[in-house]
Amino acid sequence: MLGPQIWASMRPALSRGISRNMKGKKVDIAGIYPAVTTPFTATAEVDYGKLEENLNKLGTFPFRGFVVQGSTGEFPFLTSHERLEVVSRARQAIPKDKLLIAGSGCESTQATVEMTVSMAQVGADAAMVVTPFYYRGRMSSAALIHHYTKVADLSPIPVVLYSVPANTGLDLPVDAVVTLSQHPNIIGIKDSGGDVTKIGLMVHKTSKQDFQVLAGSVGFLLASYAVGAVGSICGLANVLGAQVCQLERLCLTGQWEAARTLQHRLIEPNTAVTRRFGIPGLKKTMDWFGYYGGPCRAPLQELSPANEEALRLDFSNNGWL
């Protein structure tokens, strides 16, 4: 990571680089992205070979791109070196025409800038920055606007805001999103809160900006499209990629009845691999569907036999297993 002196000295150069980037058209992030898991060996080392295998299989679906080092990627459990290596290996594995969005959020603004710059250097097309939350009681709209503005000012790649209150206990306020949408290097938000009213309000209040809203889960994807979202970053796409892309097509072509039917069949499986059983559930499901899920890194634990059976029922009852 970069030291304080390097941090200070790089500001002018980075600012010049960003001003050149901002002259062009912003990156269009509309579409479906799997929130890629990080594979581990039995000894809890990152398995880069399995990562490549999974990405190659996922590459057969019409995704807009891939998101690595988000919540599904267990990024808080990885070292800085591992986080960067995952991004580097992912860039090598996915087609050049697919976007690679890398989660670069850290608790401090300085660390986030350093991580974002480093991820750009190893091939990320955009950075997804989660809200800092450890001192959540002090994370007012003003604090969050200041944080994201500094990151976007110094990032050589576009920034996507990331609100995931189930994990952070902090919901990025609409007023902060509206203010940040005016920054020329902030291009959108992944909102995982599940409040469709908020998603619609963000779309409405940022409509004059070149800003896009992505749903953070398949469970409310149809509703999000209905109020103006342009896609989703979702864990379920790791196992039901074809079906999630089909839901996207149905919504974009106005086939709402068929979309509603498919959405209903995806709600229980999506809940199972997110809120109910989390990443251990998603990785177990990946094993069933021909991908490598494997173990999580401690302290996350594997599912109990009873939970595994409940997970299987959520998929089989809806016709997916």
Question: Which residues are tagged catalytic?
Answer: 190
Q: For 159, phi and psi rounded to 5 degrees?
A: -115, 135
DSSP 148-176: HHHHHHH-SS-EEEEE-HHHHS-PPPHHH
Cα 126 from Cα 118, distance rounded (Å): 12
Could you tell me if 163 and 105 are in contact, meaning their C-beta atoms sit under 8 angstroms apart?
no
Cα 259 from Cα 249, distance rounded (Å): 9
Tokens of 175: 């007023």
Cα 273 from Cα 279, distance rounded (Å): 6
Could you tell me if 221 and 256 are in contact, meaning their C-beta atoms sit under 8 angstroms apart?
no
**Amino acid found at 94:** I
The SS3 call for residue 300 is coil
How close are the terminal C-alpha atoms of the chain, in Å?
45
Cα 180 from Cα 192, distance rounded (Å): 18
